[in-house]
């Protein structure tokens, strides 16, 4: 029975995803309808109610369909708008936007548009409200501006289970740099992946910070024991994974791990920086300098909001009780700077989405953008995600209506 339910969930998730990602296959064509008026037979014949002009519009609709390679499949009068709406199916291989543009220039047509898929605005990720980023970062408002489209993120970690419904279709590539065995799904990698790219609005689990980013799950670490997220890596496996990330020209590398300084890895990180790849590293609270690679120059060091580690330019993000994905169709709450780093990787993907040519300096400045008053040195650097996105997008992102009303200027 459990498998039946899991299959049903998987099926519904898959179908929803299919519907949302498929380009429109139909267009809506609006034809003007005259207001009711006297007709030839009125008063002379008996047709006080007849409105034969709909035949004329149906004839026009068929003529349009033939001219533009469409098929009339349905129609509906919309007297409130003075229109008849015709649904026409596109021929295979034709673009809805191209056809609607052509139709819009036809004098017989009032307007035309793709038949688009919409969704309800109810929270569709059951654990969404538990995500600190949902409230603290105003994730829904951020997603109105960007979702990470076209941004590739290399997660160098333990194995990721792409079979979790929240990760289905989100992982574009899995590579194992640990050994020659098959790729393996593990806890830590799956937990980090969910925070970054979990599917949004699919009816289960959580919403990733960058749900439309492309995740490369590069397994460079291995889980030490069943049921525990504790994982180990070495400089060689990490180097192989970093090399691969560079080769793939990813935009972001997430390193939710820590260790000693390592020259090979430093050089690879330098190469990444030279390629304008944003490297996000988790701060190790037990290391005085935050640990490597977080302490390395150019790396965006991320600590938990309650971290007391004194690291230059460290960013603070939620790190406690974070709901996220686990292998299988499971979710759980996790804690640790690994997950704070994952959140920031997602945020960087949003900024990259908004500004593909953004430099690392601009990225750094955006992540340190603040709205509160006071000296930077006197405040903890908890990320203001809204301010970061607003700075890059040059427009108001969060609480815009209230801000306009009270301040007369957008929140930055």
Decide: helix, strand or coil at residue 9. helix
Query: How many Å apart are CA 157 and CA 325, to the nearest integer?
Result: 15
CB of 104 to other proteins, least distance (A): 14
Residues 171-200 that bind other proteins (CB under 8 A): none
- Name which of 52 and 123 has its Cβ closer to other proteins: 52
CB of 17 to other proteins, least distance (A): 38
Burial label for 300, CB within 10 Å (0-12, 13-18, 19+), is buried
Query: How many Å apart are CA 60 and CA 66, to the nearest integer?
Result: 10
Quote the tokens at residue 97: 């936007």
Q: Does 37 bind other proteins (CB under 8 A)?
A: yes
Map tokens 């538990």 to a residue: 130
User: Do residues 256 and 194 make contact, with C-beta atoms less than 8 angstroms apart?
Assistant: no
CB of 116 to other proteins, least distance (A): 24
- Name which of 63 and 288 has its Cβ closer to other proteins: 63
User: Do residues 192 and 302 make contact, with C-beta atoms less than 8 angstroms apart?
Assistant: no
152-157 vs 214-219, strand pairing mode: parallel
Residues 204-233 that bind other proteins (CB under 8 A): none
Q: Does 60 bind other proteins (CB under 8 A)?
A: yes
CB of 105 to other proteins, least distance (A): 11
**Could you tell me which stretch among 26-34, 134-142, 198-206, 296-304 binds other proteins (CB under 8 A)?**
26-34
Q: x/- site string to other proteins, residues 77 to 96, per CB under 8 A?
A: --xxxx--------------
Query: How many Å apart are CA 361 and CA 278, to the nearest integer?
Result: 10
Tell which one of 15, 19, 25, 41 touches other proteins (CB under 8 A): 41
Tell which one of 1, 4, 22, 40 touches other proteins (CB under 8 A): 40
Q: Does 54 bind other proteins (CB under 8 A)?
A: yes
Tell which one of 39, 62, 248, 412 touches other proteins (CB under 8 A): 39
**Minimal CA–CA distance to 371: which of 363, 361, 379, 359?**
379
User: Do residues 245 and 202 make contact, with C-beta atoms less than 8 angstroms apart?
Assistant: no
Quote the tokens at residue 295: 């302490």
Q: Does 45 bind other proteins (CB under 8 A)?
A: yes
Q: Does 76 bind other proteins (CB under 8 A)?
A: no
- Name which of 55 and 181 has its Cβ closer to other proteins: 55
CB of 397 to other proteins, least distance (A): 37
Q: Does 105 bind other proteins (CB under 8 A)?
A: no
Q: Does 22 bind other proteins (CB under 8 A)?
A: no
**Phi, psi (rounded to 5 degrees) for 397:** -120, -50
**Minimal CA–CA distance to 137: which of 361, 327, 271, 305?**
305
- Name which of 59 and 306 has its Cβ closer to other proteins: 59
Q: How many residues bind other proteins (CB under 8 A)?
A: 34
Tell which one of 23, 43, 123, 150 touches other proteins (CB under 8 A): 43
Tell which one of 7, 18, 32, 232 touches other proteins (CB under 8 A): 32
- Name which of 38 and 121 has its Cβ closer to other proteins: 38
Query: How many Å apart are CA 333 and CA 336, to the nearest integer?
Result: 11
User: Do residues 334 and 189 make contact, with C-beta atoms less than 8 angstroms apart?
Assistant: no
Decide: helix, strand or coil at residue 295. coil
Q: Does 248 bind other proteins (CB under 8 A)?
A: no
User: Do residues 349 and 196 make contact, with C-beta atoms less than 8 angstroms apart?
Assistant: yes
Tell which one of 5, 18, 36, 356 touches other proteins (CB under 8 A): 36
User: Do residues 205 and 166 make contact, with C-beta atoms less than 8 angstroms apart?
Assistant: yes
User: Do residues 185 and 321 make contact, with C-beta atoms less than 8 angstroms apart?
Assistant: no
Q: Does 62 bind other proteins (CB under 8 A)?
A: no
Q: In the complex, which residues of this chain contact other proteins (CB under 8 A)?
A: 31-50, 52-57, 60, 79-82, 107-108, 110
């Amino acid at each position: 029975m459990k498998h039946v339910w899991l299959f049903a969930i998987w099926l519904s998730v898959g179908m929803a995803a299919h519907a949302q990602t498929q380009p429109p296959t139909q267009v809506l064509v609006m034809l003007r309808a005259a207001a009711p008026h006297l007709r030839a037979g009125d008063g002379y014949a008996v047709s006080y109610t007849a409105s034969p002009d709909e035949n004329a519009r149906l004839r026009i609709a068929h003529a349009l369909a033939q001219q533009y390679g469409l098929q009339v499949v349905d129609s509906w009068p919309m007297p409130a708008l003075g229109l008849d709406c015709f649904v026409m199916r596109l021929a295979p291989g034709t673009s809805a936007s191209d056809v609607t543009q052509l139709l819009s220039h036809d004098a017989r047509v009032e307007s035309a548009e793709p038949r688009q898929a919409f969704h309800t605005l109810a929270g569709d990720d059951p654990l969404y409200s538990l995500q600190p980023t949902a409230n603290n970062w105003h994730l829904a408002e951020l997603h109105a501006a960007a979702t990470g489209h076209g941004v590739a993120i290399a997660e160098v970690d333990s194995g990721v289970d792409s079979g979790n419904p929240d990760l289905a279709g989100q992982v574009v590539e899995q590579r194992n740099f640990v050994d020659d065995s098959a790729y393996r799904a593990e806890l830590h990698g799956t937990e980090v992946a969910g925070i970054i790219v979990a599917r949004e609005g699919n009816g289960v689990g959580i919403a990733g910070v960058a749900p439309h980013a492309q995740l490369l799950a590069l397994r460079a670490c291995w889980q030490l024991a069943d049921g525990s997220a504790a994982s180990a890596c070495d400089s060689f496996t990490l180097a192989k994974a970093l090399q691969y990330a560079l080769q793939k020209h990813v935009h972001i590398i997430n390193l939710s791990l820590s260790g000693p300084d390592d020259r090979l890895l430093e050089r690879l990180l330098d190469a990444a920086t030279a390629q304008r790849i944003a490297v996000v590293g988790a701060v190790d609270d037990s290391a005085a300098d935050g640990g490597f690679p977080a302490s390395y120059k150019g790396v965006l060091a991320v600590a938990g909001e309650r971290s007391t580690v004194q690291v230059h330019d460290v960013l603070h993000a939620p790190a406690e009780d974070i709901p996220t994905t686990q292998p299988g169709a499971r979710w759980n709450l996790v804690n640790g700077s690994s997950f704070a780093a994952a959140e920031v990787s997602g945020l960087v993907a949003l900024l990259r989405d908004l500004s593909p040519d953004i430099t690392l300096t601009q990225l750094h400045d955006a992540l340190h953008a603040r709205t509160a008053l006071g000296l930077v040195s006197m405040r903890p650097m908890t990320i203001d995600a809204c301010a970061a996105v607003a700075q890059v997008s040059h427009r108001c992102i969060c609480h815009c209506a209230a801000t306009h009303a009270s301040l007369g200027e957008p929140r930055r």
